[in-house]
Amino acid sequence: MKTTETTAPVPAESGMPVTKTGLPSEVPSRDKKEGAVLNVFSHGVLVIWAFMVVMPLLWAVMTSFKDDRSIFGSPWSLPDTLHFSNWSRAWTEANMSDYFLNTVLVVGGSLVGTLVLGSMAAYVLARFEFPGNRLIYYLFIGGMSFPIMLALVPLFYVVNNMGLLNTIHGLILVYIAYSLPFTVFFLTAFFRTLPTSVAEAAFVDGASHTRTFFQIMLPMAKPGLVSVGIFNFLGQWNQYMLPTVLNTDPDKRVLTQGLVQLAVSQGYKGDWSGLFAGLVMAMLPVLAAYIVFQRQVVQGLTAGALK
């Protein structure tokens, strides 16, 4: 008497996909293969993107240590000798030290002012309901869509009439006004994700609104402050249009103006090694700031989604 071997059907509650005959299907293995292919493809795209971003930076750093003949004779080879004189020449003879100091003063002052004023405005818009709340919020958003090119001419006359033309503090005020719309927009959404129970507990303990904001809510918003601070730092450090129009004094130029002046003043001489050294000097602070605060930037960008 023959016996036929049969396979017991997989129970439906086991969670495995089954066919009409009750046998497990091959869907999980197929999905795993498709996921592996997608994972390899995405990692390949990221590697190519990283190569495209990192290679120009490394090439600029490498070129800053070459002499002019090596830059044009063998642009892709490593320097035979490290010419540190390029950096010292750009720092002293090209006045990069003065431009660097002016940029630190302008960007430092504007960054502090932007974060303080922007966080205060964003906290009020996010936590308090009053007539005109949404109107003020949409006005800030509208400022993000207003091209700075359209405001250059009236902005020049406004700054000139206020006696702030060709001054460090005048440029700081313009940078703050230029950066506030995005700062308020970013921090308003961030403050809305913070728990209200902590602020309510502070009010119960007798804390004022000012103390609650500066001692409780502002430290809790540190990831958002760091993120928006990095974005503003990048934009303000690399700003060229505003200082070109509002700052024509040679003694108060910022780094972007100094690099252009260094390239133009060469004429037919072509001090390319000094120019690349000055370019790397202007690039290093931005790169260092992002490397130091990259974890806080990611936390600030994902805080709203994780909430």
Q: What is the mean pLDDT of each run of 10 residues along the chain (307 residues)?
A: 49 51 55 72 87 88 88 84 86 84 94 95 92 92 85 91 92 94 92 87 87 90 88 90 90 87 67 84 85 72 52
Give residue 172's pLDDT.
95
Superfamily for domain range 85-306: MetI-like (1.10.3720.10)
In angstroms, rounded to a whole number, what is the distance separating the alpha carbons of residues 234 and 184?
A: 17
Give residue 173's pLDDT.
95
Residue 279 has, within 13 A of its CA and on its CB side, a CA count of 18
DSSP string across 244-294: HHH---GGG--HHHHHHHHHHHTTTS--HHHHHHHHHHHHHHHHHHHHHHH
Q: Which residues pair with 24 in a beta bridge?
A: 18
Residue 148 has, within 13 A of its CA and on its CB side, a CA count of 15
Give residue 2's pLDDT.
47
Positive or negative CA dihedral for 113, 119, 120, 121?
positive
Please state the pTM of the whole predicted model. Answer: 0.78
Give residue 30's pLDDT.
66
Give residues with Cβ within 8 angstroms of 75, minimum separation 6. 63
Give residue 306's pLDDT.
47
Give residue 44's pLDDT.
87
